[in-house]
């Protein structure tokens, strides 16, 4: 069965244009999270929805750059499609049928990225020598792609060290303790569960690259319902 690193989707604009959605590249995610601070300051649902619309407009720089203003976006995109954009772009999940305030739904599901040491993660990736500068890297990769690439890189680095150690009769797993990867796995769990857990075995953490490695999970034929939102 084919696996995938992240969720994608499509929206249909009011004029019939089909727009393909993928997670935001870091270049746009930075701006998105800056604007997202307005959501946290909202005092009611109307203000929260207005701020989230601004976040969606940032996303359109990647998806459909000809839409440049809130007015243009409102003329071409309905509210359910905006909610779909927010979910695919940055994992912000809004249930229009929920009695929970829009602000609370957005903040609870969308505040995880800013807790990451993104500069450190990008610096590690940059050593691969693929990108000419950091702007090129941030224009090329989304957060799920960064985590997936780093996960493979770290596995390969460890396997190489393990092989060299074995050539000298050293069991690297026993020397360093295989649990030394826990911090990395816990960080990925926090990211993919949107801050709900740091347990890599929790069902909410089985998304994106975690689901791919496990062979099943959310987005790979499995979904879940968060009863705390009811």
Give per-residue pLDDT as tens, 24-60: 999 999 999 999 999 999 999 999 999 999 999 999 9
Partners of 218 in the β-ladder? 207, 222
Domain ranges in the chain are 9-111, 115-229
Distance CA(217)–CA(176), nearest Å, equals: 30
Percent of the chain residues topping a pLDDT of 90:
44
Q: Could you tell me the two tokens for 126?
A: 């940059």
Q: Which residues pair with 11 in a beta bridge?
A: 19
pLDDT digits (tens, 9 = 90+) for 80-139: 999 999 999 998 989 888 889 999 988 887 655 666 778 888 998 998 899 999 999 999
In DSSP terms, which residues pair with 25 in a beta bridge?
A: 142
Query: In this structure, are residues 21 and 34 in contact, taking their beta carbons and an 8 Å threshold?
Result: no
Looking at residue 85, its pLDDT comes to 96
Which distant-in-sequence residues (6+ apart) come within 8 Å of 217 by Cβ? Answer: 203, 206, 207, 210, 211
Determine which helix (DSSP H) or strand (DSSP E) holds 19, and give its type and residue range. Answer: strand 18-21
Task: State the Cα–Cα distance between residues 131 and 136, nearest whole angstrom.
Answer: 6
Q: Among 9-23, 165-179, 210-224, whose mean pLDDT is lowest?
A: 210-224
Q: Residue 162 has what pLDDT?
A: 77
Rounded-to-5 percentages of helix, strand, coil across the chain: 60, 5, 30
pLDDT at position 174 = 72
The pLDDT of 66-72, averaged and rounded, is 95
Residue 215: the pLDDT is: 47
pLDDT in tens, 173-226: 776 665 555 655 666 666 666 556 655 555 555 555 455 554 444 444 444 455
């Amino acid at each position: 069965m084919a696996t995938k690193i992240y969720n994608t989707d499509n929206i249909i604009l009011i004029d019939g244009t089909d727009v393909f959605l993928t997670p935001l590249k870091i270049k746009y995610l930075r701006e998105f999270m800056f604007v997202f601070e307005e959501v946290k300051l909202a005092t009611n649902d109307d203000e929260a929805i207005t701020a989230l619309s601004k976040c969606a407009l940032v996303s359109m720089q990647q998806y459909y750059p000809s839409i440049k203003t809130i007015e243009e976006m409102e003329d071409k995109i309905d509210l359910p499609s905006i909610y779909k954009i927010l979910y695919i772009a940055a994992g912000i999940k809004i249930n229009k049928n929920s009695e929970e305030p829009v602000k609370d739904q957005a903040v609870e599901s969308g505040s995880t990225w800013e807790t990451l040491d993104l500069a450190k993660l990008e610096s590690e990736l940059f050593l691969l020598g693929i990108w000419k500068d950091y702007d090129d890297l941030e224009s090329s990769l989304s957060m799920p792609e960064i985590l997936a690439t780093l996960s493979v890189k770290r596995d390969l680095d460890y396997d190489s060290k393990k092989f060299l150690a074995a050539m000298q009769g050293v069991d690297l797993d026993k020397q360093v303790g295989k649990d030394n990867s826990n911090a990395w796995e816990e960080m990925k769990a926090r990211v993919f569960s949107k801050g709900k857990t740091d347990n890599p075995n929790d069902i909410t953490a089985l998304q994106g690259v975690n689901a791919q490695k496990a062979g099943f999970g959310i987005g790979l034929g499995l979904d879940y319902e968060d009863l705390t939102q009811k």
